[in-house]
Amino acid sequence: MKTKAPVAKNERLDVTIADLTYQGMGVAKVDDFPLFIENALPGEELTIQVTKVQSHYGFARAIAWKSESPDRVKDVDKTYRQTGIAPLQHLAYPAQLKFKQHQIAELFSKDHQDVDVAPTLGMENPTQYRNKAQVPVRMIKGQLETGFYRQHSHDLIPLTDFYIQDPAIDAAIVKVRDILRQFEIPAYNEISDKGVIRNIMVRRGYYSHEMMIVLISRTQKLPSQAQLVDQIHQALPEVTSIVLNVNAKKTNVIMGNVTRTLYGKPTIEDSLLGLTFAISARSFYQVNPQQTEKLYQMAIDKAGLTGEETVIDAYCGIGTISLALAKHAKHVYGVDVVSEAIEDAKVNAQKNHLSNVSFETNKAEFQMAKWQEDGIKPDVVVVDPPRKGLAESLIDSTAKMGPKKVVYVSCNPATLVRDVARFQELGYDIDGPIQPVDQFPQTPHVESVTVLVKK
C-alpha cells in the first residue's frame, strides 16, 4: 500500500536541519520523511517551501532563517553554489573536515560495521588548489564566453575566477578566451551541432609551473590556427605545450580520441614525492598536488615496505603511486585501461631511473585474474579505483593471490563500504583507523586510505 507523503508541493514549513547529505545538502525530517535543502546547515532553524515530493523524500528551498549555524560562512559567492564548483563554501573549513570524517563513519555504521575513522587531513589554504581546469565555451549574446554550467542544466554562467583553481590557470583561460574572440572563432553550439571550440582545458605543474593549453574542437583544424597558436604562446610565457583535441561527436563527453600537438611538447612535467612525471592531455593526474603527496605518502607508509616485497598497483594511471612504491619495493606491477596512461607510465619509469616496475594496459579486473593465473604472488596490493569502486572479480582475484595487505585508496565512501564487506567475507579485516584526506576542499568529495590485512 502506497503511503501518502506528509508534505505537499509549495507547502511552507518551519524545520530544524538535522544533518548534511553526502552531497552537502541540509536534511530536515517531517514525520521521518526527509526533505533536502540547499544552503542549509545542521542545527539551523528555518522556514522552507517544498519544491518537489517523491514517494520517500522531497526537496525544499530555504525562505528565511530563524537561527544560523556558528559554522556558517557569510561572504560566499552564490555563483559557486549555482554551478556546483564549491557546494560547501558556506560551511567553515574545520566543519567541512569533520563532515567528511562523519560521512565515512556514518556509511560504515549503516552497514553495521564498527570502524575507527581518523580526523580528516586538511589544507592550510583550502582554495586555489586545482592544477587542471576544463571549462566549457559558448556564445552568449553573440560573444564567446568561458565559464561553468548552472547545476543540472547546460546554461553557461560566465566566470573568470573559479575560486578553487590555481589563479594562474584562471588568468590563462581569460587570455585564451580573448585571443579566440580576436580571431572570431565561434564557440560550439550543442543544439545545432555547429561552431568550433567546445572546451578549453588548462593544466599547470604545481612545482614546474609548466603549462599546457588544450583546445577541444569540433573540427579537425582551427581557423587561423598558426596565428592563433603563436598569439597564445606569446601571451602566456609559461605555456610549454599547446594541444588540439578533436571531438566531432554530438556528446557530453568532453574529449575526443584524436589529439595533436600544435606547439611545444605533447606533455608537461611536474613532480610528486620527489619523482618527475610527464603528463599528457588525456592522462589522469590528481588535481590537488599538495594533498596527493599526503595521500600517497600515507598509502606508502601503510604498505609498510622493506624493499623485499612484490606489489601490485591496480588502476596505476601514469604510474604516480607505482613509482613512489617502487623506491621501497622489490618489484611493482601496474595496470590501467587507458593506453596513453601506460605509455606515460613507462616513460616516467625511465625518467626516474626505476627498472623494478612493469606496466600493462588492461582492465584491472582482467589483468589481476591473468597475474593470478601466471602465479604472481604479491605481498601488497594497492587499489585506487574510480568512483564506481572495485569489480567483484578483482576482489576475488586479489583474495586468491593472498597478499598480506591490501591498501585501498578510495574516492567514494559508499563503494568503499561495499568493497570492504566483500574483502571481509574473503578473509580480510580492517587494520587501524581509516584515514580521510581532503583532496577537494569546498566540495563534499572525500578521499581516504584503508588498510586490509589477511586474517
Cβ contacts of 153 within 8 Å, gap of 6 or more: none
Q: How many CB atoms lie within 10 A of CB 277?
A: 26
Pair 44, 69: CB distance under 8 Å = yes
Pair 62, 40: CB distance under 8 Å = yes
> Residue 377 corresponds to which cell in the numbers above?
604472488
Q: Which residues pair with 138 in a beta bridge?
A: 145
> Residue 304 corresponds to which cell in the numbers above?
609498510
Angle between helix axes 413-425 and 93-110 (nearest 10 degrees) is 40
Residue type at 179?
A: I
Active site annotation includes 411: yes
Q: Which residues pair with 212 in a beta bridge?
A: 203, 241
Measured CA to CA, the distance from residue 200 to residue 205 in angstroms comes to 17
Active-site residue (options: 369, 411, 420, 451) = 411
Pairing of strands 331-336, 357-361: parallel
Handedness of CA 6, 11, 13, 17 (dihedral sign): positive
CA 441 to mean position of chain CA atoms: 11
- Measuring CA to CA, which residue among 328, 331, 333, 273 is closest to residue 306? 328
Measured CA to CA, the distance from residue 426 to residue 325 in angstroms comes to 26
**Active site residue ranges:** 411
